Amino acid sequence: MAEQFDLVVVGGGPGGYVAAIRAAQLKMKTAVVEREHLGGICLNWGCIPTKALLRASEINHLLHNLGPYGFAADNVRFDFSAVVKRSRQVSGQLSSGVRGLMKKHKVTVFDGSGKLAGPGKLTVSKEGQPAAELQAKNIILATGARARVIPGLEPDGKLIWSYREALVPNIMPKKLIVVGSGAIGSEFASFFLNMGAEVTLIEVMDRILPVEDAEVSAFVQKSFTKQGMKVLTGARVQGVRKSGDGLTAIVEANGKVQEIQADRLISAVGIVGNVENIGLEGTRIKVEKTHVVTDPLGRTGEEGVWAIGDLTGAPWLAHKAMHEGVVTVEAIAGMHPHPTDISNIPGCTYCRPQVASVGLTEARAKEMGYEVRVGRFPFIGNGKAIALGEPEGFAKTVFDAKTGAMLGAHMVGPEVTEMIQGYTIARTLETTEAELMHTVFPHPTVSEAMHEAVLDAYGQVLHI
């Protein structure tokens, strides 16, 4: 006999567990099916542990650059295994916290893999054996995504790493190659560089962080290079030769072929949706480029089946999945929520320097036909940034010249990932330049640069 629920969520990652909590708040009898770890990739193998590692690398960098602050430290060293162990402890703490939230909200958790088995039906299997049969009027698919594998760069658990192996490395490589300069690749490149490795970052596009504003990409590349990283753009890895405890990558860039030796290589070239073995066959659910197609409320082509998070379209971000989880559950409940507007979802990259953005880049705004007004403010003109000893970077704003609507905002520099929410709120509220210019920012804070970047777009900048 199938166990009855109002809603079953397949996948206990950020989107899945948040959807379950919201459903429970709305008095739905709810279940979550999770095959591995509550909290999903983000909490266990992505967002959270990488930030713990990056924090350690920031500390290591600071300890080796104490002179400007009047300090000196001799024989600075670190225990790499302890650095990794701490990141795993942070993830473990939060994963157990998610299980506690499920218990608090009376959400039933099934350990295993979920698979659609007809209208309103779902089977759960564990280690290949049937574990449960569930029935619900509504089912949310939140099975997430995994690393894309390129032929010739298949992770082998030793010399070639995916993000999983990179999070629990068995050695601190002296020389490292990172293929792919999106958020994941740039963060790992930055981490290992600041821990003392020689890093080569390889990107097939003409610039690193290609989804960011071109000025931001150029600034980060210049900063990485200044820090000692070798950056190759417009480059392809033609092959890899493995030898003992190292490898050689054959790389073509700008019409020239070169060989780069390293201890390890990290492949960070995108993701593919987990659409296999979840029962999509025989349904009206449409899949494009390994991702389930939905409307802005999460509906698929199959009645009663919804999808959220990395399983669906870009951007593939945990906070986008969480928001979608709430929106989809409220749609199921008949509450008429606002559809998800992906243009108001901020993106953050936690390398050094940090990068954060929301909305349109300057180039994209012009492509869409907008007449734009652009403002910029460098952190060298910000008192708090100078006091922190981190005056590199800038804030950039893009406005519609006709209406004053903020089209986009882009920042690179100290703690910008904490500040971008200010611009995100402005876009969500459809704020114009007038409200932003009349907003009082506290002094001294790095966030004052955000205000100055708005003023600069209208010829009223004060401190540069």
Is 106 a known ligand-binding residue?
Answer: no
Alpha carbons 29 and 6: distance in angstroms, whole number: 5
Is 347 a known ligand-binding residue?
Answer: no
Alpha carbons 406 and 260: distance in angstroms, whole number: 44
Is 12 a known ligand-binding residue?
Answer: no
Alpha carbons 348 and 357: distance in angstroms, whole number: 7
Instruction: Tell me whether residue 37 is one of the annotated catalytic residues.
Output: no
Alpha carbons 373 and 404: distance in angstroms, whole number: 9
Residue 152 token pair: 């010739």
Q: Tell how strand 354-359 and strand 406-413 pair up.
A: antiparallel
The catalytically annotated residue of 105, 291, 323, 443 is 443
Is 114 a known ligand-binding residue?
Answer: yes
Asked if residues 221 and 214 have their Cβ atoms less than 8 Å apart, the reply is no
Is 404 a known ligand-binding residue?
Answer: no
Is 267 a known ligand-binding residue?
Answer: no
Is 186 a known ligand-binding residue?
Answer: yes
Is 19 a known ligand-binding residue?
Answer: no
Is 310 a known ligand-binding residue?
Answer: yes
Is 187 a known ligand-binding residue?
Answer: yes
CB atoms within 10 A of CB 460: 12
Is 183 a known ligand-binding residue?
Answer: yes
Comparing CA positions, the residue from 432, 439, 423 lying closest to residue 401 is 432
Is 181 a known ligand-binding residue?
Answer: yes
Which residues are within 8 A (CB) of 186 and not within 5 positions of it... i.e. 6 or more apart? 201, 208, 209, 220, 349, 351, 355
Is 217 a known ligand-binding residue?
Answer: no
Comparing CA positions, the residue from 166, 251, 163 lying closest to residue 200 is 251
Alpha carbons 269 and 181: distance in angstroms, whole number: 8
In the beta sheet, which residues pair with residue 243? Answer: 246
Q: What is the DSSP letter of 112?
A: S
Task: Indicate the annotated binding residues for FAD.
Answer: 51, 114, 310
Task: Indicate the annotated binding residues.
Answer: 51, 114, 180-187, 203, 270, 310
Task: Indicate the annotated binding residues for NAD(+).
Answer: 180-187, 203, 270
> Active-site residues: which are they?
443
